[in-house]
């Protein structure tokens, strides 16, 4: 069954759905396109589940469900797909969240600049392209999908968001294009380097990973990729587009952007920065770790200071992405396992948070925390869902993000105690921004403006429930995910030529860098 | 003294001869055919001639076996005046396709109430009674078709010329009709005439440089032909001053034609003032011809002096990209914006041009600079042609509405046209899955392979700047509310629609499956001398 082109099906099913949607005559009304879009994404989810069931965790192959066809010979580009554990989890995240988001944004497309048909068509197109990004095992193909995802999200933000949507869409697009073009220079550099070999130009990740680029070239190429991924992730100091964008976009768009597309950044760091440029990655580690820790703390502090709910969630994400990047660059199995797990879990918890606050905001017509108060008395189900989503975001034990955050911090400690000590403050700050937000919106005397709130309806509950269920289940039982991710992490560590330090706390043990030695002196 | 008749390979030169014959016939049609029938006769003649020439050009291209693994190199014809090798023949095909699209745009009559976009009577002063009469009678200048054919014949010779004199003749033959065509707009005639005069004055000025350069190079090499010049440089015993000055002046002439900074000043005014069909044709076809000539002159004749000319071209490429991208940011007129964008693209093309390497360094299958530039030219020409064609559709009572701010909300009123334009803009910005991306990739890869990484870095940064102004138009069209008395999209006839359709299809297809075309160019992109 593994010869079946699972990934191509996952990639093209939603895109075909999007095209069909666009071609539907307007006379059919708004309901049919919505049902068709939801049906397509559910079908894609079914295909995704069937594929995941076929995934062999004991396989010795790095990439499963691999497909490979020559595409542009003179560029060395291939249409090559395949997933390892990391790719699989992110593909699954994409196909899980797409129907959830569509159900949750059922009516969000109605007040947009264009029809709701276009809204759902863009969403489907985005879903397909995102699968392509996570499944591409050819750098050129990856780049094509990486850039192509910008177009649907650009129109989703600019066409259907709030007051500042046009500005936000442009800011988002320009930041992303700048990063993408810097990466283009590195992508072309890979071509030039691989063309020098006897085998000729190639963009296949598996073949590029065998090349030795030399110290200087490798570092330059690494930088091109890393800058693009840091903008995408986003990391401090190239994060400013994210809060503006989420403040203007619809909740559904924000989910797809933050939960799915931003993962491309951290996914790319693992797949390309670490695996293709191991030497350069080790060289850059100290600086990256510093920026990651700054992101954690800065994002959390900004979240505490935000009165606008979507902006607050954006800042929490910057903080969480700091954790993910930290986990990636400490380069040990706990950190990387944690980071990979974190990508999936953060996707779920942020999706839940964006959607539930989206329901809240749409009832009040304002996104400011100070405009709410005492909602839990009029809409207890909403408040309950909000609380669970919030608690998952602050990594309460028993909910899935806890496992990943814990692993990242363990990994960080074995890399550098100082870095870990700073990172831990992020957890405390997370409790502050989430609980403060909950307290100020949900508790206290019910304000007059919110007294007429209706509680969540069936559709809203149905969209949120699967996400929260997953969060709880994976919080108690993360093993299925970890068993998929573990082999991928081992492969990555092999590529960067790092093995875990022995479990003793010996500052001079091989494999720990000078940093932890300094840390232990202090 | 014995006189030998020159030996001309008429069968191989058939494409040029057909075009010239059609041009001459077109002039006679003006004299012999009654006014009422002239339009139809001219259009059929021009389109038929271009198609015949295209078939002939494909046949000649076939003689070098471009589909085999080892194509022939081609040959020098017409007593050493023209080189019919892969780059020439490929450029011919591209130029003739663009000429065909140009004829279609020129022939469009549905946009302006049943007449073409050209002045009813060019000799009538703007604003006079004579002009009103000409316009009331529905007069048209059908001379534009023979003029177009003359320009095309020059463009065919330009990239093929392998001695400096032929090069100069081709330059003038292609330029003079274009100067005239630029001044023939039906609407905004003063602007159009000003554009024509500016273009003519600056063009004549640059021709002066060009001729001076020819004289100096002749003084250095003692010959006009490229192979003798290359030989003189290789033997390298003579004074370099003459060569350097000569190369510099020839470069000025050619860079003027491609619109590279600091010789770009005419571009925005001329692109804006000229009738839009002329702008479309000029922006696309002139670039192809001029880059073809530039590549041959500097790779074949001056290839041995590469280390002398490369530094100055580095500076010009960087300046061109920066000027084109940065000045485009503040433009408020679509045609001027596209003009600055064409300057930026000239810079990207120069980036590919600077990918020059020794032949020994290029392995089979590598992207080589000639291949990259020719591919980029193809993609850019198709995209630009379609973009200008769309500009000619958006009109109000006073003709084309080229103010960007007046395009507000076009996406709501005419989603198909605005969507196509947005797609073409994304193509120019180099977003993947469009031909602009594959083209950019090719020229940047060629430059980076030659170690020109500083230029590539400038190029990617300027691509990001350029993306901003392309996106700005998309924002205006899609994310801004329509203004009350805004322009409307006029429904064109099949002529303009097919140009837009071909341009959009080309942008999409070359973006997704560029492989076959790239391979074709790659196999044949060898100059001979």
- Residue A515 pLDDT > 50, yes or no? no
Q: Which residues of B touch A181 (CB under 8 A)?
A: 430, 460-461, 463-464, 467
Q: Which residues of B touch A113 (CB under 8 A)?
A: 412, 478-479
Residue B101 pLDDT:
95
What percent of chain A has a predicted confidence (pLDDT) above 70?
Answer: 94
Q: Which of A71, A169, A181 comes nearest B460 by C-beta?
A: A181
Enter the tokens of residue B428.
């120019």
Please indicate whether, in this complex, the C-beta atoms of B460 and A182 are within 8 angstroms of each other. yes
**Nearest Cα residue in chain B from A179:** B464
Lowest mean pLDDT among A393-397, B1-5, B85-89, B520-524: B1-5
Residue A143 pLDDT:
93
Each residue of B239-298: pLDDT tens digit? 788 899 999 999 999 999 999 989 999 999 999 999 999 999 999 999 999 999 999 999
- Residue A479 pLDDT > 60, yes or no? yes
Q: How many CB atoms lie within 10 A of CB B41?
A: 18
- Judge contact between B60 and B17, C-beta under 8 A: no
Please indicate whether, in this complex, the C-beta atoms of A201 and B431 are within 8 angstroms of each other. no
Of chain A residues 59-88, which have a CB less than 8 A from chain B?
71-75
- Residue A40 pLDDT > 80, yes or no? yes
User: What mean pLDDT is predicted for residues B229-247?
Assistant: 86
- Judge contact between A34 and A107, C-beta under 8 A: no
Lowest mean pLDDT among A183-197, B60-74, B432-446: B60-74
Q: Which residues of B touch A71 (CB under 8 A)?
A: 515
B1 lies in a domain?
no
- Residue A522 pLDDT > 60, yes or no? no
Q: How many CB atoms lie within 10 A of CB B308?
A: 15
Please indicate whether, in this complex, the C-beta atoms of B479 and A147 are within 8 angstroms of each other. no
Each residue of A143-188: pLDDT tens digit? 999 999 998 998 888 888 777 888 888 888 888 888 998 999 999 9
Each residue of B118-165: pLDDT tens digit? 887 888 888 888 888 888 887 888 899 999 999 999 999 999 999 999
Please indicate whether, in this complex, the C-beta atoms of B433 and A144 are within 8 angstroms of each other. yes
* Higher pLDDT among residues B57 and B186, named by residue: B57
Could you give the maximum distance between any two Cα atoms of chain B, in Å?
A: 80
Best of B458, B459, B464 to substitute, by most chain A Cβ atoms within 10 angstroms, is: B464
- Residue A505 pLDDT > 70, yes or no? no
Q: B170 is in which domain, residue-wise? A: 14-524
Residue A325 pLDDT:
92
- Residue A509 pLDDT > 70, yes or no? no
Selection from B200, B170, B166 nearest residue B20 by Cα: B170
**Nearest Cα residue in chain B from A182:** B460
- Residue B345 pLDDT > 70, yes or no? yes
In angstroms, what separates the C-alpha of A17 from chain B's closest C-alpha?
A: 19
- Residue B36 pLDDT > 70, yes or no? yes
B153 lies in a domain?
yes
Each residue of B393-403: pLDDT tens digit? 988 878 888 88
Please indicate whether, in this complex, the C-beta atoms of A174 and B467 are within 8 angstroms of each other. yes
A46 in contact with chain B, both atoms CB, cutoff 8 A:
no
Q: How many CB atoms lie within 10 A of CB A82?
A: 22
Please indicate whether, in this complex, the C-beta atoms of A74 and B479 are within 8 angstroms of each other. no
Q: How far, CA to CA in Å, does B484 sit from each of A26, A114, A220, B400, B479?
A: 25, 19, 52, 17, 16
Locus of tokens 């002039």: B27
Q: How far, CA to CA in Å, does A297 sit from each of A289, A306, A414, B104?
A: 12, 14, 20, 62
A173 in contact with chain B, both atoms CB, cutoff 8 A:
yes
Report the DSSP pairing between strands B394-396 and B82-85: unpaired
B244 lies in a domain?
yes
Reduce the DSSP state of residue A204 to 3 states and report it.
strand
Domain ranges, ordered by start, for chain A: 278-522
Q: Which of B438, B471, B518 comes nearest A173 by C-beta?
A: B471
What average pLDDT is seen over chain A?
86
B509 in contact with chain A, both atoms CB, cutoff 8 A:
no
B363 in contact with chain A, both atoms CB, cutoff 8 A:
yes
Cα–Cα distance measured from residue B400 to residue B267, given in angstroms and rounded to the nearest whole number: 19
B6 lies in a domain?
no
* Higher pLDDT among residues B122 and A521, named by residue: B122
- Judge contact between B282 and B178, C-beta under 8 A: yes
- pTM of the complete model: 0.91
Please indicate whether, in this complex, the C-beta atoms of B460 and A155 are within 8 angstroms of each other. no
Q: Rounded to the nearest 10 degrees, what angle do helices B369-391 and B86-106 cross at?
A: 0
- Residue A305 pLDDT > 60, yes or no? yes
Reduce the DSSP state of residue B158 to 3 states and report it.
coil
A162 in contact with chain B, both atoms CB, cutoff 8 A:
no
Please indicate whether, in this complex, the C-beta atoms of B480 and A181 are within 8 angstroms of each other. no
**HSE-CB of B369 using CA atoms within 13 angstroms:** 27
Reduce the DSSP state of residue A70 to 3 states and report it.
strand
- Residue A294 pLDDT > 50, yes or no? yes
Please indicate whether, in this complex, the C-beta atoms of A148 and B445 are within 8 angstroms of each other. no
- Residue B518 pLDDT > 70, yes or no? yes
Residue B488 pLDDT:
82
- Judge contact between B273 and B196, C-beta under 8 A: yes
**Nearest Cα residue in chain A from B361:** A196
B413 in contact with chain A, both atoms CB, cutoff 8 A:
no
Q: Which of B365, B412, B467 comes nearest A74 by C-beta?
A: B365
Q: How far, CA to CA in Å, does A350 sit from each of A374, A390, A432?
A: 23, 9, 17
What average pLDDT is seen over chain B?
90
Selection from A314, A259, A304 nearest residue A104 by Cα: A259
Cα–Cα distance measured from residue A71 to residue A56, given in angstroms and rounded to the nearest whole number: 28
B460 in contact with chain A, both atoms CB, cutoff 8 A:
yes
A346 in contact with chain B, both atoms CB, cutoff 8 A:
no
Q: Which residues of A touch B366 (CB under 8 A)?
A: 195, 201
Which of the 8 DSSP states describes residue B123? Answer: T
- The number of distinct structural domains making up chain B is 1
Selection from A165, A74, A124 nearest residue B366 by Cα: A74
Tell me the residue ranges of DSSP E strands in A257-326: none
**Nearest Cα residue in chain B from A145:** B432
Lowest mean pLDDT among A233-237, A447-451, B42-46: A447-451
Each residue of A78-87: pLDDT tens digit? 899 988 888 9
- Judge contact between B32 and B24, C-beta under 8 A: no
Confidence of residue A513 (pLDDT cuts 50, 70, 90): very low
In angstroms, what separates the C-alpha of B80 from chain A's closest C-alpha?
A: 33
Of chain B residues 273-332, which have a CB less than 8 A from chain A?
none
Residue A57 pLDDT:
80
- Residue B105 pLDDT > 60, yes or no? yes
Q: Which residues of A touch B372 (CB under 8 A)?
A: none
B412 in contact with chain A, both atoms CB, cutoff 8 A:
yes
A241 in contact with chain B, both atoms CB, cutoff 8 A:
no
Tell me the residue ranges of DSSP E strands in A34-173: 64-72, 77-83
Q: Which residues of A touch B511 (CB under 8 A)?
A: none
In angstroms, what separates the C-alpha of B321 from chain A's closest C-alpha?
A: 15
Cα–Cα distance measured from residue B152 to residue B15, given in angstroms and rounded to the nearest whole number: 10
Selection from A334, A358, A411, A90 nearest residue A249 by Cα: A358
Please indicate whether, in this complex, the C-beta atoms of A184 and B426 are within 8 angstroms of each other. no
Selection from B242, B233, B360 nearest residue B307 by Cα: B233
Residue A498 pLDDT:
59
Please indicate whether, in this complex, the C-beta atoms of A158 and B519 are within 8 angstroms of each other. no
Burial of residue B498 (number of CB atoms within 10 Å: 0-12, 13-18, 19+): middle
In angstroms, what separates the C-alpha of B365 from chain A's closest C-alpha?
A: 6
Q: Which of B430, B471, B518 comes nearest A170 by C-beta?
A: B471
Cα–Cα distance measured from residue A506 to residue A520, given in angstroms and rounded to the nearest whole number: 9
Residue A365 pLDDT:
82
B482 lies in a domain?
yes
CA B72 to chain centre: 27
**HSE-CB of A494 using CA atoms within 13 angstroms:** 9
Please indicate whether, in this complex, the C-beta atoms of B456 and A188 are within 8 angstroms of each other. yes
B461 in contact with chain A, both atoms CB, cutoff 8 A:
yes
B118 phi, psi to nearest 5 deg:
-105, 155
Q: Which of A74, A150, A191 comes nearest B518 by C-beta?
A: A74
Q: Which residues of A touch B438 (CB under 8 A)?
A: 72, 75
A238 phi, psi to nearest 5 deg:
-115, 40
Q: Which of A150, A174, A188 comes nearest B445 by C-beta?
A: A188
Confidence of residue B362 (pLDDT cuts 50, 70, 90): confident
User: What mean pLDDT is predicted for residues A427-435?
Assistant: 90
> What b-and-e string marks burial along B369-408, b requiring 16 or more CB atoms within 10 Å of the CB?
bbbbbbbbbbbbbbbbbbbbbbbbbbbeeebbbbebebbb
In angstroms, what separates the C-alpha of B297 from chain A's closest C-alpha?
A: 26
Confidence of residue A142 (pLDDT cuts 50, 70, 90): very high
Reduce the DSSP state of residue A148 to 3 states and report it.
helix
- Judge contact between A430 and A508, C-beta under 8 A: no
CB pairs under 8 A between A and B: 105
* Higher pLDDT among residues B51 and B115, named by residue: B51
Q: Which residues of A touch B463 (CB under 8 A)?
A: 181, 184
């Amino acid at each position: 069954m593994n010869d079946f082109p699972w990934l191509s099906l996952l990639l093209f099913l939603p895109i075909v759905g999007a095209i069909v949607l666009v071609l539907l005559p307007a006379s059919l009304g708004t309901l049919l396109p919505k049902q068709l879009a939801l049906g397509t994404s559910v079908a894609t989810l079914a295909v995704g589940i069937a594929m995941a069931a076929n995934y062999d965790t004991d396989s010795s192959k790095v990439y499963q469900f691999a497909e490979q066809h020559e595409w542009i010979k003179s560029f060395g580009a291939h249409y090559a797909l395949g997933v390892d554990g990391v790719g699989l989890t992110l593909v699954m995240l994409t196909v899980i969240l797409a129907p959830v988001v569509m159900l949750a944004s059922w009516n969000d497309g109605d007040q947009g600049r264009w029809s709701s048909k276009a809204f759902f068509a863009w969403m489907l197109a985005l879903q397909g392209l995102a699968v392509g990004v996570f499944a591409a095992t050819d750098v050129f193909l990856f780049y094509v999908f990486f850039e192509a995802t910008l177009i649907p999200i650009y129109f989703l933000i600019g066409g259907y968001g709030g007051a500042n949507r046009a500005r936000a869409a442009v800011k988002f697009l320009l930041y992303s294009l700048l990063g993408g073009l810097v990466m283009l220079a590195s992508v072309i550099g890979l071509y030039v380097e691989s063309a020098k070999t006897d085998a000729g130009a190639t963009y296949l990740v598996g073949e590029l990973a065998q090349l030795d680029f030399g110290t200087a070239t490798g570092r330059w190429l690494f930088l091109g990729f890393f800058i693009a991924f840091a903008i995408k992730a986003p990391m401090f100091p190239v994060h400013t587009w994210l809060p503006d964008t989420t403040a203007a976009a619809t909740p559904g768009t924000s989910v797809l952007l933050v939960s799915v597309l931003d993962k491309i950044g951290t996914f790319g760091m693992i797949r390309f920065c670490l695996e293709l440029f191991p030497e350069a990655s080790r060289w850059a580690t100290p600086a990256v770790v510093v920026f990651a820790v700054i992101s954690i703390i800065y994002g959390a502090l900004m979240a505490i200071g935000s009165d606008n709910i979507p902006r607050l969630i954006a800042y929490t994400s910057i903080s969480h992405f700091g954790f993910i990047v930290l986990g990636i660059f400490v380069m040990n199995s706990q950190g990387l396992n944690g980071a990979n797990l974190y990508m999936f879990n953060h996707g779920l918890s942020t999706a839940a948070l964006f959607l539930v606050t989206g329901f809240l905001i749409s009832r009040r017509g304002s996104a400011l925390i100070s405009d709410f108060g005492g909602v839990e008395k009029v809409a207890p189900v909403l408040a309950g869902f909000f609380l669970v989503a919030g608690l998952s975001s602050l990594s309460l034990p028993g909910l899935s993000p806890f496992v990943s955050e814990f692993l990242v911090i363990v990994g960080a400690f074995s890399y550098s105690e100082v870095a870990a000590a700073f990172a831990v403050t992020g957890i405390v700050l997370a409790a502050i921004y989430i609980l403060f937000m909950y307290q100020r919106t949900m508790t206290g005397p019910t304000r007059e403006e919110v007294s007429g709130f209706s509680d969540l309806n069936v559709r809203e509950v149905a969209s949120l429930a699967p996400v929260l269920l997953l969060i709880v289940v994976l919080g108690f039982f993360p093993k299925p995910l970890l068993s998929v991710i573990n082999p991928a992490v081992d492969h990555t560590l092999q590529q960067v030529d790092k093995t875990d330090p022995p479990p003793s706390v010996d500052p001079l043990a091989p494999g720990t860098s000078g940093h932890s030695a300094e840390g232990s002196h202090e | 003294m014995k006189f030998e008749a020159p030996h001309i390979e008429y069968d191989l030169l058939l494409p040029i001869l057909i075009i010239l014959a059609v041009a001459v016939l077109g002039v006679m049609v003006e004299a012999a055919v009654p006014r009422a029938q002239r339009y139809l006769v001219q259009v059929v003649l021009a389109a038929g001639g271009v198609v015949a020439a295209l078939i002939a050009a494909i046949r000649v291209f076939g003689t070098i076996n471009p589909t085999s693994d080892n194509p022939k190199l081609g040959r020098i014809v017409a007593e050493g005046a023209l080189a019919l090798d892969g780059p020439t023949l490929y450029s011919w095909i591209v130029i003739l396709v663009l000429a065909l699209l140009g004829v279609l745009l020129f022939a469009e009559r549905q946009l302006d109430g049943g007449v073409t976009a050209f002045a009813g009577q060019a000799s009538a002063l703007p604003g006079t009674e004579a002009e009103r009469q000409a316009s009331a009678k529905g007069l048209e200048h059908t001379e534009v078709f023979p003029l177009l054919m003359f320009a095309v014949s020059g463009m065919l010779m330009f990239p093929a010329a392998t001695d400096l004199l032929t090069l100069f003749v081709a330059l003038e033959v292609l330029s003079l009709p274009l100067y005239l065509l630029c001044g023939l707009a039906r609407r905004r005639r003063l602007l159009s005439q000003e554009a024509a005069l500016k273009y003519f004055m600056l063009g004549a000025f640059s021709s002066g440089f060009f001729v001076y350069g020819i004289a100096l190079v002749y003084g250095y090499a003692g010959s006009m032909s490229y192979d003798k010049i290359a030989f003189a440089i290789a033997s390298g015993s003579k004074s370099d001053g003459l060569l350097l000055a000569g190369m510099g002046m020839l470069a000025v002439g050619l860079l003027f034609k491609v619109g590279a900074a600091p010789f770009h000043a005419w571009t925005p005014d001329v692109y804006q003032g000229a009738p839009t069909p002329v702008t479309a044709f000029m922006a696309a076809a002139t670039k192809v011809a001029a880059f073809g000539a530039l590549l041959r002159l500097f790779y074949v004749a001056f290839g041995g002096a590469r280390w002398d000319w490369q530094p100055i071209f580095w500076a010009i490429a960087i300046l061109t990209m920066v000027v084109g991208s940065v000045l485009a940011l503040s433009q408020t007129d679509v045609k001027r914006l596209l003009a600055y964008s064409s300057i930026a693209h000239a810079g990207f093309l120069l980036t590919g041009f600077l990918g020059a390497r020794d032949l020994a360094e290029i392995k089979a299958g590598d992207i080589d600079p000639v291949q990259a530039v020719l591919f980029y030219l193809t993609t850019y020409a198709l995209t630009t042609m379609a973009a200008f064609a769309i500009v000619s559709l958006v009109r109000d009572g006073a003709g084309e509405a080229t103010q960007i701010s007046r395009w507000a909300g076009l996406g709501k009123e005419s989603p198909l046209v605005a969507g196509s334009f947005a797609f073409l803009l994304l193509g120019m910005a180099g977003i993947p899955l469009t031909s602009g991306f594959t083209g950019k990739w090719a020229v940047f890869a060629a430059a980076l392979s030659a170690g020109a990484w500083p230029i590539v870095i400038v190029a990617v940064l300027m691509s990001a700047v350029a993306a901003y102004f392309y996106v700005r138009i998309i924002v205006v069209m899609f994310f801004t509310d329509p203004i009350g008395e805004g322009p409307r999209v006029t429904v064109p006839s099949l002529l303009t629609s097919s140009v837009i359709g071909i341009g959009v299809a080309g942008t999409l297809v070359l973006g997704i499956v560029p492989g076959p075309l790239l391979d074709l160019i790659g196999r044949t992109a060898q100059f001979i001398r």
